[in-house]
Amino acid sequence: MKINQLTVDEATASLRSSRAGLSAAQATRRLAEYGLNRIEKAEREPLALRFAREFTHFFALILWLAAALAYAAELREPGGGMAALAAAIVGVIVVNGVFSFWQEYRAERAIYELAKLLPSRCAALRDGAATEIAAEKLVPGDVILLKEGDEIPADCRVIESFGLRVNTATVTGESVAIEKTVMPDGEEDLLRARNVVLAGTLVVAGSAQALVFATGMRTEFGKIAHLTQSAAEPLSPLQREITRLSRLVAVLATVLGVLFFLLGQALGFPFWDNFIFAIGVIVANVPEGLLPTVTLALAMATQRMGRRNALVRHLPAVETLGAATVIVTDKTGTLTQNRMEARRLYFAEGPQDCGALHGGRDPAGRERRFLEVAFYCHDLRELIADGKRRWRGDPMEEALRRLAAPVMAARTDYVRRDEIAFDSDRKRLSTVYVTPQGPVLYCKGALETVLPTCSSVATADGAVPLSEALRSRFIAAETEFAHEGMRVIALGCRELPRGSSREQWEQDLTLLGLVGLADPVRLEVPQAIATCRAAGIRVIMVTGDHPQTALAVARQIGLVRTGRPLVVSGERLQRMTGVQLQLALDADEIIFARVGANQKMVIVEALQRKGEIVAVTGDGVNDAPALKRADIGIAMGLAGTDVAKESADMVLLDDNFASIVAAIEEGRAVYDNIRKFMTYILTSNVPELVPYLAFVLARIPLPLTIMQILAVDLGTDMVPALALGAEEPAPGGMQRPPRPRGERLLTWGLVARAYLFLGALEALAAMAAFFFMLDAAGWRYGAPLAHDDPVYLQATTACLAAIVMMQVVNVFLCRHPVESAFRFGLVSNRLIAWGIAFELALLALIVYTPPGNRIFGTAPIALEAWLFVVPFALGMLALEEARKLVARRLRRDRAQAR
């Protein structure tokens, strides 16, 4: 039998202890056997290894290879500029690696934060006397003393209780404080046992003695820690796509490099000239600026999301959120405000709104008595913080006091004299106050326990006898309130006659009315749920609360709109097989209630097996494993525990579900923006590659040098590409479903547009500019040109300038794959204007300054060389606008056909 199913004497005997606790000698022996009461540290990957990974992923390895080849060529032919190329490529790797590590570095402190939640000292009985000891010295069999405000240091069986109520939200997710008893119960799940208190939870009322039966990693708290340690973090969709793109680029660059090396050999090129040429082909096909641009674009997106109250801790999470197809959300604090509030009242005449008690007048009679009970009948404690008086304790009692405060706050003439404490059998609290009218007993509790103490009911015209009809009406009202997800409290009172004994106090009370309390829904949530539905994102509520409460909240926020949603309890979920759970998740409307920590992770894994990209919200220790296992974990910044925050990829600064929806919109924009600047960057690869093809196949001077390629990839293209990465979310972004899980970042349509259309037009302009300069200088086909010949330097400079000028136009064309470039003005993205200014300024430095000429092998060119490119740029603009027009018409025709 489990310890909660045993009597107190059986429980102490099973642990070879007693109500007086252990002796010091027994505790020492057990400490040696069971170890310290603390969370064990997880084995962590060395920091140096995590840092090294940023420099050894597949894309970085391609760049390392290119740098090594360039350095080898420099050793063979010093002074050829290959050392500068090698240094530039290594610089790209180092800067990107350090930046990525700094942005994505997440010290795995979740376990240490777990340990911080456990108290450092506690009171225990040793040798029959109460002794304060270090909490980590607790052992099974110890008896500890608990009082209001204590954090519980180990899993314990309650052996004495005096109105003990415990907030278990950090472990179970339950939003209401739970009353604890000493009586055995038949509960199989220790998390739900009424006579067990768990490590990491908080005593909110009462006091108790409890028998320690589990410490350290053997506690439920420790088991959650183990789940958090062992939960694997999946690669994000963006990480998978970048890996795939890296492999594709590596294969393409290598194949072309080898192919043209062999071709050069066949045509009789000298070996080292051919080798350098092959390096140029590889470098031309590797978009060196892609990785830093992606990293910087994600970092800029985190800044925008931060302004919308979403703090991103892990860069790929930005884009993952935009791909999310399912949001698994907690209820308390995320969909609701995480505070109890009086919602509805019931008097003898029927239901009323809470505003009826105030209404700008000083209530009298029944309403006055009702407010007195709400204001004075409690076990709250008064605290002074920041110079303000606050009342802390049971959230329901706080809500009742707030209900009465506008009327009763100024009244200080009542003095508390006595009380009959709340306990699990009575389920009610009575307090006695001395008032100007004499001693008055105020009583509140569950209707089932307050009603038997009442002989009359207060009405607007005075008290009347409690008839069966009135009794039935109050019971029916309680049932109705409960169905709406409210906690129902009955309030009663009586004036105590002189000489009455304590046993007579709770007799002949007058029932004043009922109050229904609930955690109110956040105002923004219903609209956010509707936005998710329009965006094709499914929202599933998973909570530790009662199914009836969960269903009532789901209806209020529009998550449930039908009459028969599927509500799965934690107990039912435990009996389900994996297949049954996956089939259950096919239901149009499903809610999970009373679930445990490991069960939330089971739900996440089942959704992932169904091909969903899952975002999970959570705030408690119990949520940490699911947050870590999800495609993106979202922790609450205000109410969330440090453990949840450390396990998550993103933290909501305002704990608001609506902020998740705003972040999803940003995430979708990030994916679209990555495609925009990928199109932009890959377009320039074609005019960088074609000169090498012409060099080999047409036997002409090389139109573009390797250093000039790097000037484009790592210089002029960078800021405009970042500007595209900083585009605001497009209108209608949340009116379309999430992209399919199998959709690629690099699609055939994107490749065709970049390489076969825009890139081909840029290559035509670049080669035309090169030959224009050669022709103007009188060069004829076949005539040799030295690498330092001014004619050759001007021709390659014209080729470089043509690529950059075409990219100036291209940045506008890449703002949308279908919509006209003229639809977007510079004002909508000022960074584009700055990007173009930077691009042209850098080009001017390269072309017209001696250092630029020396480093990049350029020479100043005349105005006619610039003007020669203008018709090509305008032609590309016209042709791309024509293509977009056709694409828009085809899209409209398909929409009409449907």
Residue 886 to residue 402: CA distance in whole angstroms? 64
What is the predicted pLDDT for the residue at 41?
Answer: 61
Q: Which residues contact 449 (CB under 8 A, 6 or more apart)?
A: 426, 427, 428
What is the predicted pLDDT for the residue at 70?
Answer: 74
What is the predicted pLDDT for the residue at 627?
Answer: 84
Helix (H, G, I), strand (E, B) or coil at 731: coil
Residue 189 to residue 168: CA distance in whole angstroms? 14
SS (H, E, C) 386-441: CCEEEEECCHHHHHHHHHHHHHHCCCCCCEEEEEECCCCCCCEEEEEEEECCEEEE
What is the predicted pLDDT for the residue at 805?
Answer: 96
How many Cβ atoms from other residues are within 10 Å of residue 499's Cβ?
6
Residue 670 to residue 677: CA distance in whole angstroms? 11
The residue length of the chain stands at 898
Residue 719 DSSP symbol:
H
How many Cβ atoms from other residues are within 10 Å of residue 528's Cβ?
23
- pLDDT over threshold 60, residue 325: yes
Contact (CB, 8 A) for 297 and 677: yes
N-terminal to C-terminal alpha carbon distance within the chain: 64
pLDDT tens digits for range 151-168: 898 999 999 988 788 887
Contact (CB, 8 A) for 202 and 24: no
Q: Smallest Cα–Cα separation from 256: which of 744, 750, 765, 688?
A: 688
**Residue type (1 letter), 72:** A
* Bridge pairing between strands 381-385 and 388-392: antiparallel
- pLDDT over threshold 50, residue 756: yes
Q: Smallest Cα–Cα separation from 572: which of 604, 612, 551, 602?
A: 602
What is the predicted pLDDT for the residue at 110?
Answer: 38
In the chain, what percentage of residues exceed pLDDT 90? 35
What is the predicted pLDDT for the residue at 112?
Answer: 45
pLDDT tens digits for range 359-371: 555 667 888 899 9
What is the predicted pLDDT for the residue at 107?
Answer: 34
Q: Is the C-alpha dihedral spanning 834, 835, 839, 840 positive or negative? A: negative
- Label residue 175 by pLDDT band (50, 70, 90): low
Could you tell me which residue, 496 or 272, shows the higher pLDDT?
496
Residue 703 to residue 721: CA distance in whole angstroms? 25
- pLDDT over threshold 60, residue 304: yes
How many Cβ atoms from other residues are within 10 Å of residue 58's Cβ?
14
What is the predicted pLDDT for the residue at 340?
Answer: 85
Dihedral-angle region of residue 225 (phi above 0 means left; psi in -120 to 50 means alpha; beta otherwise): alpha
Residue 271 to residue 873: CA distance in whole angstroms? 38
Catalytic residues: 330
Residue 754 to residue 748: CA distance in whole angstroms? 10
List own/partner pairs for 839-848 with CB under 8 A and 24 or more apart: 839/716, 839/717, 839/719, 839/720, 839/804, 839/807, 839/808, 840/804, 840/808, 842/711, 842/715, 842/716, 843/716, 843/800, 843/801, 843/804, 846/711, 846/715, 846/800, 847/797, 847/800, 847/801
Average pLDDT over residues 592-613: 87
- pLDDT over threshold 60, residue 231: no
Contact (CB, 8 A) for 149 and 165: no
- pLDDT over threshold 50, residue 114: no
pLDDT tens digits for range 783-823: 888 888 999 999 999 999 999 999 999 999 999 999 998 88
- pLDDT over threshold 70, residue 17: yes
Q: Which residues contact 570 (CB under 8 A, 6 or more apart)?
A: 189, 592, 593, 594, 595, 596, 599
What is the predicted pLDDT for the residue at 56?
Answer: 79
Highest mean pLDDT among 153-167, 324-338, 388-402, 877-891: 877-891
Q: Is the pTM of this model over 0.75?
A: no
Q: Smallest Cα–Cα separation from 70: which of 55, 86, 59, 49?
A: 86
Average pLDDT over residues 467-478: 94
What is the predicted pLDDT for the residue at 883?
Answer: 95
Mean pLDDT of the chain: 84
- pLDDT over threshold 70, residue 608: yes
Residue 394 to residue 563: CA distance in whole angstroms? 34
What is the predicted pLDDT for the residue at 72?
Answer: 76
Average pLDDT over residues 284-303: 71
Could you tell me which residue, 595 or 74, shows the higher pLDDT?
595
In the chain, what percentage of residues exceed pLDDT 70? 89
Residue 712 to residue 288: CA distance in whole angstroms? 10
- pLDDT over threshold 90, residue 358: no
What is the predicted pLDDT for the residue at 641?
Answer: 64
What is the predicted pLDDT for the residue at 737?
Answer: 85
Place of tokens 């003898």: 348
- pLDDT over threshold 80, residue 330: yes
Instruction: State CA 518 to chain mean position distance.
Output: 26
What is the predicted pLDDT for the residue at 80?
Answer: 61
Q: Smallest Cα–Cα separation from 136: which of 41, 212, 215?
A: 215
Give me the helix-helix angle, 290-307 and 657-697, nearest 10°. Answer: 160
What is the predicted pLDDT for the residue at 339?
Answer: 81
What is the predicted pLDDT for the residue at 573?
Answer: 92
What is the predicted pLDDT for the residue at 505?
Answer: 92
The region of weakest confidence among 43-47, 75-79, 121-125 is 43-47
SS (H, E, C) 238-282: HHHHHHHHHHHHHHHHHHHHHHHHHHHHHCCCCHHHHHHHHHHHH
Q: Smallest Cα–Cα separation from 223: which of 41, 15, 39?
A: 39
- pLDDT over threshold 60, residue 894: yes
- pLDDT over threshold 70, residue 230: no
- Cα–Cα–Cα angle for 161, 154, 168, rounded to 5 degrees: 65
